[in-house]
Each structure stands twice: as structure tokens, then as C-alpha cells.
Amino acid sequence: MRSVAALLVVLALVPLAAAPARADDPICEELPDAEVEARLREVRGYVTQHEPDTRHWATAFLSLHLTMVGVQLSLAISADNEGAIVDGWVGTLSSTLGIATLLISWPSLIGAGDAIDELPTGTPEERRYALARAEQRMRRASDQVAYVRSPFTTILNALYVGAAGSFTLIGWGRVTGGYLLAAGGSVLSQTRVLLFPTGIREAWLRYHRAHPDAGCEPEALPAEASAPSVTVMPNGLGASLLVAF
């Protein structure tokens, strides 16, 4: 029984470790300042256009998972028979893992606009650096869309909900509860995937076709070229404090 429960946790967290890695990027080439400014405005415009949809998606599903945890936890506590208690606690665990995976893989597009605006742009060197960082943020958001919409994610979701339903069905003999958990989990997980906004992915592909050098690794700014800046970035279940000098 414990091994099946452990499998549920592992299958729920596998997508977090399976995101595609990227090799080291080449150093950015020096561009005319006018082109840098134009491209930085273009990237910022794409972020402004597509960030709200992603934020609404994340807020909606986080609220849904939190509501489901509250309802299922209440049912588990108030149930008067063992079968209903099992259904309630397994459902609570499943929804809690849904919250964990959402928070740990929080969309990188959320907060990208503020992060770009906080980058120093007072000199040509700073503007080139800001452009490279903005393009990298946009590329990461695009990569995240590609991963979420990939068949690999769909397969992992199917394995997870199947394991959760089997745990309830085989481990506790809850036929109705097991099938409901598997069916409901499948619908919710696939809805979460299918509704994940794809606009930033399409925008990045168009942008990268126009600018093949986009997303390169910028050279570090000299210490005297930029003032210190502090940025709070979402990171898993908490936040990261980025101090740049």
C-alpha cells in the first residue's frame, strides 16, 4: 500500500524534473543601438499582450485546486464510514499534489513584464544586456508552453490519475470512488493542459524567425555600468531574491 502511495507522489512530481534542458547559449553579438531599442520594445509588447492570459490561467486552476482540497478534506473529516474517508483523503492528496505541481512549475511569463522593466537601460551596453535577458525570459516561457502541450506531459498525467484510481480501487475496494477519481483526474489534468495559453509560444517562433540570434547569452555588465537592482522572482513554493550589481 505504501509503495502505491509513493508511486502517486513520484508520478505527480516527474514532470517537474523532466523539463527539457538547454545547452550553453552563444555570447550575443553587438547590435546597433537603434535595433536593440526596437527589439526590446517588441519583446516587451509581446509580454504585455500574453502575460494576462497566463496569469488568469494560473489563478483559475490554483483557485480550483484549493477549492477541491477544501471540499475533499471536509468530506474526509465528516465521513462516517471507512470507504468515504478513504475517498476523501485520497482526493485531498491528489488535489494537494495538483497545487504543488502548479506552484513548482509556475509559468515563467508571469512577472516577466515587471522583471524586464526593472532592468537598467541607461546606456547602450545596458540596453543590449536588457534585450538579451528579455529574450531569454520570452524563450523560457515559449519552452514551457511546448513542454506542457507535449505528448510526454499527457502520458504522465494519464499514468498519475491511473495510479491514483488503482490505489483507491485495488487497495481499498472502492470501485465507484476509484473510477470517479481516475475519470475526474483525467478531465481536470487534460483541461489544465489544453487551456494553457499558447500565445507566447507563437509569438516567440515568429520573433525568432525574424531574429535568429535571439535568446543568446549576454556578456556581464561592468560593475560601473549599472546600478544595483533587486528583483523578487517566483521560485517553486516560495520566492527568490535576485540582487544585481
Q: What is the pLDDT of residues 88-141, one digit of tens each?
A: 777 777 778 888 888 888 999 999 999 999 999 999 999 999 999 999 999 999
> Is 78 buried (19+), middle (13-18) or exposed (0-12) by CB count in 10 A?
exposed
Residue 212 in this model has a pLDDT that exceeds 80: yes
Confidence of residue 16 (pLDDT cuts 50, 70, 90): very low
Residue 75's pLDDT is what? 79
- Average pLDDT of the residues in 58-84: 84
Interatomic CA distance for residues 205 and 131, integer angstroms: 17
Residue 179's pLDDT is what? 54
User: Among 64-73, 96-105, 208-217, 226-235, where is mean pLDDT lowest?
Assistant: 226-235
- For residue 224, the 8-state DSSP code is G
Q: What is the mean pLDDT of the chain?
A: 75
Query: What percent of the chain clears pLDDT 90, i.e. is strictly above it?
Result: 38
Residue 218's pLDDT is what? 78
Residue 226's pLDDT is what? 43
Pairwise pLDDT comparison (9 vs 60), residue with the higher score = 60
Residue 12 in this model has a pLDDT that exceeds 60: no
According to DSSP, the residues that pair with 240 across neighbouring strands are 233
In the chain, what is the straight-line distance between the N-terminal and C-terminal CA atoms, in Å? 52
Pairwise pLDDT comparison (245 vs 144), residue with the higher score = 144
The residue type at 39: R
Note whether 240 and 106 are within 8 A (CB).
Answer: no
Residue 185's pLDDT is what? 65
Confidence of residue 180 (pLDDT cuts 50, 70, 90): low
Residue 237 in this model has a pLDDT that exceeds 60: no
Long-range contacts, stretch 68-73, CB < 8 angstroms, 24+ apart: 68/95, 68/98, 69/95, 69/96, 69/99
Q: pTM for the complete prediction?
A: 0.71
Interatomic CA distance for residues 43 and 132, integer angstroms: 10
- Average pLDDT of the residues in 219-239: 46
